[in-house]
Structure 1
Amino acid sequence: MRVLGIFIAIISLCVHSASSIAQSNFQIDAEKIELIGGTRPFKSDLEIERLSVDRYQVFFRLHASAPSIPPEFALTFRFPKDKVNQLWNSQTWSNRSFFSLPSYDRAAADFSIVSGLTLNDQNQITFTSDDRFDSRYISTFVQEKNDTLIFGLGFFADNPPISQMQEYEVRILVDLRNIPFAEAVSDASKWRLNDLFQQAAIKKQNDDYPVYSTWYPMHRNIPLENIARELDSLKTFGFKSILVDDGWRSLVKMKVDTMYDYDENSLQTMHLFNEKRKEMGLKLYLWYSLPFMGGNPVITKKFAPRYIRYKAPMQIHVLDPRYPEVRNHLVSTYANFYESWPSDGFWFDFLNEFYPNAPTIICDDLGRDFIDTQLAVDQLMEGMNQRLQKINPGIFMGQEFASAGPDQAAGQSFLAGFVGINSAAVVREKMVNNRLLYGQHTPFMEIMGVHPRDKSEEVARKLQAILFGNPHLSFFTTTLPEDTKETIRFWLDYWKENRKILMESEFEPMQVANLYPIIKVANEAKIIYGLYADYNLSLPLVVKQPIDVINAKESLLISFVVNHDGSGYDYEMYNHMGQLVAQDHLKTKRKNTVEVEVPSGGFIRFLPDATAGR
């Protein structure tokens, strides 16, 4: 189907339904898409492609006879309000949104996916968009009007590109399938990021996890040489790599009258650490936050006032990547350092510091070749990749994707991490958002710190908050009690044993409006539930594969719902250290709900029925 011409009037949209259950009765066609605002001097071109049953791809194009400033306009479509009980957005709702439904919008992702879902988290409608600007100038909104929800996309209203254009195309995905909302969001993200996911799959190294970080010991001022002496014990935990926090740079002396020239003698501790980890067969990654400029007089004088902002608490400036000399300096410094001090790669946490989410210093243009900070950062990363990969084609360059939120570590200077059990809920929420948007390529990396006084049960529950992501842990082994060490070893072993199901199988978070207190992953071999709040969990009539139900709550009782009188289930029960504490048979009799006490931080495993599959 193809519609050509300028949209002059507003075309009303109604998505018709003959049934409140069968999503296949909904259809999207050109006459149901509403244009708000004029597009002159551009002419418009609309094309709709049906990808599969209840899944559509809309192409909207603008073309003008001469380069022109892009117009501000919006595309909207209507949806029955009674089909939707809650809303989910990967970005914060725009100021054009107004509705009364419960909603979630804390992910703070770089792009927007909006989903309307039922109370039991089934998708009713999910949509997203993509264009050559990575949707940078597209906003999404939802409005409520009587018995209708109006879903919309706004174009070029906020911070539009200054440059003129002659052609423009946007792709819009609309998914009406009645499937778990997590699947719809995941498919929308794949639709948008498919090429990047394929590239990430090629480069992905699965042998780097779990990761040990020096963040927390160094934060507690434990010398790096003391940490180095503990590397032998890290192998007993099954760590595969080490991430050295940016604090390593405080251990080395920089020649003050030079541009990042370090005193070789001061690198002795780092060299000893490096040799020790090589002996242990551990990979090494350095956190190197170069664009934060302190008091070095040479650098301060050379680049002043080419700073994008000043971070007052740390008394440091952040270099402005919109200047070519700044980007060249950053790329050259990393490359020169890597040639003289090779590791398995760098972790970069500085990219988000360049984005103008915080107030940006306004100064005269001293030769910027970019106006848009994000485009300048893209150019910086491209130059970094090219230069460092010439030295080592297999070098690790940090996360492939920008992590979604919410962020819980306000005020932390470099690494994102958490120590207290009270932070576990928001950390889990962040883990879920990144899994929804990026699947097994998740950039989620909240480092879990372990304090010597942590209760081992709470250590287990903190680990369970990151269990469905790639675990990064930080602690000083010497100071930890034995039960804490045993707890850490068990749950890291559990993650490695179940990695394929935890990271690559169907991922289904539940109760969106309550911040995902239940998580389910499943494949043909196993089912795993993470319970972070009270919930009535349904058991199947016949258990065909092991079902692990992890009690990540403080309370002990877990309620199970059975829909057949006299059902029976064989089970094993483990405490938070992985010790078997019970083996029994659960008989439901005539009860519809059965309550079982499961150790906090532990789990119950239902075993396959001997008759399953017969």
Structure 2
Amino acid sequence: MSVTTAGLVPAPTEPLLDSVRLAVLPESATWELRDGVLEIHCAEAAEIRLSVPLGDAVGFWHPDAWWNRTIVADWAGLAHVSLVRGAAAGCLYDSSGASMLAFAALDPVPEVTMRYGVSEESKTFVVHLHVPARRSPYRIALAPQAPSVAAAMRALRRAPEERPVPEGARVPVYSTWYGFSQDVAHEPVEAEARLAAELGCGALILDDGWQELGNGRGYAGVGDWRPDLAKFPDLAGHVARVQGMGLKYLIWVAPLLLGPQAECFEALSPLAPLPSGVPGARVLDPRLPEVRRHVVDLCVRLVRDYGPDGLKLDFLDQATLYGDGAGAAMHDLLTELAAELGPEALIEFRQPYVAPGTPLGNMLRADDCPADAVANRVRTVDIALRAAGGAVHGDMLMWDPAGSTRSAARQLIGTLHAVPQISARIGELPQAHRRMVAFWLERWRELRPLLLDGELEPGRPDELYPVVRAERGDECVITVTADRVVPLDGRFRKITVVNGTASGRLVVEVAGEGFAVRRVHDAEGSRIDPSATQIPAGLGILNVPASGMAVLEGNP
């Protein structure tokens, strides 16, 4: 591979939407305009080259970007994506946040190498997609220029990707992971479940540690997936008791992992020739039909024998170690598993395998970021920019129980625009923290139609989304996590403003006739008297306690 894209074999380019140009090797592409979106169809194996003048470009977002959101050089920008790792999608944007080049693959299955960045020689931004040979043409869509990254990516969603989301995927969750780690057992988990239900959770995830040899934070013992009888002497009975509290129940499993201490290791090890990136375990090769059958049978057995409402499927991205064909194999595996479990099964997938087109997953969770509210905000918004067919979930929430209530509340505010997963030991929290959790979960349920189903506008990805707005009809929710001027649009009848900063005031800019301050709450939910009952048009100050919220109504 050449050091820069300028060293590649030249290819003639064609003008596409706006100032975007296309080159395809071999020259066998067709395209059509559908509802303003340009669809490109390429031959079985292809190199797709997109380019656009640099102009005022300041950042490039793609699902595997993590913290690197600037316009890197083309010798530095590289991503390997497939069905269970990221996605062939991205958006170049300018200093106003408007899109300059927005694209997304309509076929997420094959292993694609994405090379991107600034071409120093041509003074352009380029994206090169290397697509392997396959039976049918590869399809990719380009959106016209839009006022924001979010608007551009919304235009690239396709209705066939969307699937009904079970109600159980859209309720707050209690997860055992950060609260218990692997030290789980039926009695303490049931005690926490009861408290979680009282605080407003609707589901519980039993994470790692329920299974035999599930101790020590390593994975040398995984593979048999039988309950540790010292911890759960009657797992089915335990599940039923928790469900009787009004909670859905999910069990964690990593079905592709195989540890040398497992009883089944000798029989299955020929199907797992490669060590995984997970300590102590190998990874089963999903390209083998017997592996796919084993995984499906395992997951079906867990649901049948113990009665959970679904599964938390972990480490599916380890399949990418097997390279070409792993994406297609995982698509076959997950499609078969979806047919076996049915549409109401709750299935959690975790970044990076949350791309549209992935069968089965309906709870799409941010990657692990314990106690990091910033990462939780950024990752949940990133998922939401492309999500279709699933509810976006934040990573499990943990915090210092000896810390301030305001600090703890910031963890919930960081995941407010997604489904929150609580993972603190509720029974050990001070009463102030419990009141805080109950308050924010109640507000979240009230605002859920906007937070999960509204139109999301988070701003520029390189700024890490300091002002996030979700709107639906004449209402909106605005979450503020940095000292920025917060626009309050007069077209909204009702605005909920959440102060995720450490300050007790927000600078606002009101368009329209102004707003009346109807309610102000602190971090624990206590109602306080507002310092001013009206906010007139123009620049002004809205006094809201740190980690608190205010409800505004438009003046008639």
Distance 2:520 2:78 in 1: 35
**Cα distance change on mapping 1:117 and 1:107 into 2, 3 Å:** farther
> Which secondary structure does the structure 2 equivalent of 1:185 belong to?
helix
Q: How does 1:311-460 map to 2 (within 5 A)?
A: 314-356=279-321, 372-389=325-342, 394-399=344-349, 402-403=353-354, 417-420=368-371, 423-438=372-387, 441-460=390-409
Residues 237-273 of structure 1: CA deviation (Å, up to 9, x unaligned): 12112111121114999xx9x9666687874353452
* Deviation at residue 509 of structure 1 after TM alignment: 0.6
Distance 1:279 1:252 in 2: 26
Counterpart of 1:117 (choices 73, 88, 93) is: 93
CA contact 2:406–2:523 (8 Å) conserved in 1: yes
CA contact 1:117–1:123 (8 Å) conserved in 2: yes
1:607 aligns with 2:553: yes
**Cα distance change on mapping 1:148 and 1:14 into 2, 3 Å:** farther
2:160 corresponds to = 195
1:214 aligns with 2:176: yes
Which segment is superposed worse, 276-285 or 316-325?
316-325
* Deviation at residue 433 of structure 1 after TM alignment: 0.4
1:84 aligns with 2:57: yes
Counterpart of 1:185 (choices 144, 153, 158) is: 153
2:218 corresponds to = none
Counterpart of 1:130 (choices 102, 106, 116) is: 106
Distance 1:10 1:260 in 2: 53
Distance 1:552 1:463 in 2: 9
Counterpart of 1:515 (choices 459, 464, 482) is: 464
1:555 corresponds to = 503
2:190 corresponds to = 228
Equivalent residues, number? 526
2:434 corresponds to = 485
1:48 aligns with 2:67: no
CA contact 1:571–1:584 (8 Å) conserved in 2: no
CA contact 2:91–2:101 (8 Å) conserved in 1: yes
Distance 2:445 2:144 in 1: 36
**Cα distance change on mapping 1:272 and 1:454 into 2, 3 Å:** farther
**Cα distance change on mapping 1:563 and 1:501 into 2, 3 Å:** closer
Residues 288-320 of structure 1: CA deviation (Å, up to 9, x unaligned): 224433344642222234324436884333333
Distance 2:422 2:127 in 1: 42
What residue identity is the alignment partner of 1:119? S
Counterpart of 1:286 (choices 248, 251, 254) is: 251
Residues 413-435 of structure 1: CA deviation (Å, up to 9, x unaligned): x9965543xx1111111011011
Q: Which has the larger radius of gyration?
A: 1
CA contact 1:448–1:474 (8 Å) conserved in 2: yes
What residue identity is the alignment partner of 1:76? L
Residues 354-385 of structure 1: CA deviation (Å, up to 9, x unaligned): 221xxx7xxxxxxxxx9633333333323433
1:503 aligns with 2:478: no
> Which secondary structure does the structure 2 equivalent of 1:247 belong to?
coil
**Cα distance change on mapping 1:232 and 1:142 into 2, 3 Å:** closer
CA contact 1:213–1:447 (8 Å) conserved in 2: yes
* Deviation at residue 517 of structure 1 after TM alignment: 1.4
> Which secondary structure does the structure 2 equivalent of 1:530 belong to?
strand
CA contact 2:517–2:535 (8 Å) conserved in 1: no
**Cα distance change on mapping 1:438 and 1:251 into 2, 3 Å:** same
Instruction: Report % sequence identity.
Output: 18
Which structure is richer in relative contact order (CA contacts within 8 A, separation 6 or more)?
Answer: 2
Distance 2:111 2:89 in 1: 13
Q: Gaps (5+ residues) in structure 1?
A: 1-7, 16-23, 63-69, 361-369, 405-413
> Which secondary structure does the structure 1 equivalent of 2:417 belong to?
coil
* Deviation at residue 473 of structure 1 after TM alignment: 0.8
**Cα distance change on mapping 1:295 and 1:470 into 2, 3 Å:** same
2:12 corresponds to = 11
What residue identity is the alignment partner of 2:86? D
> Which secondary structure does the structure 1 equivalent of 2:436 belong to?
helix
* Deviation at residue 491 of structure 1 after TM alignment: 0.5
Distance 2:324 2:498 in 1: 50
Aligned Cα root-mean-square deviation (Å):
4.0
* Deviation at residue 598 of structure 1 after TM alignment: 2.1
**Cα distance change on mapping 1:181 and 1:444 into 2, 3 Å:** same
**Cα distance change on mapping 1:507 and 1:104 into 2, 3 Å:** farther
What residue identity is the alignment partner of 2:34? L
Distance 1:310 1:138 in 2: 23
Greater helix fraction, Structure 1 or Structure 2? 1
CA contact 2:116–2:128 (8 Å) conserved in 1: yes
Q: Gaps (5+ residues) in structure 2?
A: 1-8, 216-220, 356-364
Counterpart of 2:39 (choices 57, 75, 83) is: 57
> Which secondary structure does the structure 1 equivalent of 2:101 belong to?
strand
